[in-house]
A = this chain, B = another copy of it.
């Protein structure tokens, strides 16, 4: 690729992935509403509010690939979600449509299906069951992307990220964890696939205890290498025996199912 745009670059996931993306494109264009580390060689850094259509239009110009990590990434007030995740995503897709439809990797979320129980095994055809407003906004995003695909041919990978962290920090993540390296491998697969289409991909490592079935997306050739299982003993020692009745261990969305609706100011 000539130029790859990464939104949400100042967020936790964006910062973690930034050094791992070098080499994916001649230029990496990082963007966030907040402050980012200064641009290094072959990097650009552009601050941008996703709710600002004109700014997003300019941001996308010249890019032939987009990794969209931007927007609100946890439960929050609806006004904020509306601005960043609903309006912001629309702005992004309109900008992409105006600029030749670069392929998009959209960071969707396991919170689109958070109300499934952890003893349920689901694939990409399972009806969505979002666990909060954030999850609903990701459902919206997946459907917006699908509409742009069917109507205009815009390709998107709808990556339902589980828990993308350095390592699992509780027992739920023994199932939901995706390592940074496996995410990197997935990104490579998404942008190298001859035809992408608009698939849901479960963003999860090769964990022994995973809940999700990616076999429909085998054509991408993604083979995650890591397995959260190696952290089990460490978690057992640190956290003790998990409470089988706690939402954290009952629902795929974990504690999100107990989040309230956040009050507006």
Task: Name A residues whose Cβ lies closer than 8 Å to a Cβ of B.
Answer: 53, 78, 82, 86-87, 90, 94, 97, 115, 117-119, 121, 125, 127-133, 135-136, 139-140, 143-144, 146-147, 150-151, 155, 171-172, 174-175, 194-197, 199, 207-211, 213, 215-223, 229, 232, 242-244, 249-250, 257, 261, 264
CA–CA, A78 and B218, complex, Å? 35
Of B53, B136, B208, B218, which one neighbours A121 at CB under 8 angstroms? B218
CA–CA, A213 and B218, complex, Å? 10
B-side contacts of A171, CB under 8 Å: 194
Closest 3 A/B residue pairs (Cβ):
A119-B197, A209-B221, A194-B249
B-side contacts of A199, CB under 8 Å: 119
Of B130, B147, B216, B221, which one neighbours A229 at CB under 8 angstroms? B221
CA–CA, A142 and B223, complex, Å? 33
Contact (Cβ within 8 A) B195 A257: no
Contact (Cβ within 8 A) B261 A117: no
Given A140-B140, A143-B136, A218-B210: A242 and B194 within 8 A (CB)?
A: yes
CA–CA, A175 and B172, complex, Å? 33
The residue in chain B whose Cβ has the minimal distance to the Cβ of A263 is: B94
CA–CA, A215 and B78, complex, Å? 35
Contact (Cβ within 8 A) A147 B135: yes
B-side contacts of A150, CB under 8 Å: 115, 129, 131, 257
Tell me the minimal C-beta distance from A191 to chain B in angstroms.
Answer: 10
The residue in chain B whose Cβ has the minimal distance to the Cβ of A139 is: B143
B-side contacts of A87, CB under 8 Å: 78, 82
CA–CA, A228 and B94, complex, Å? 38
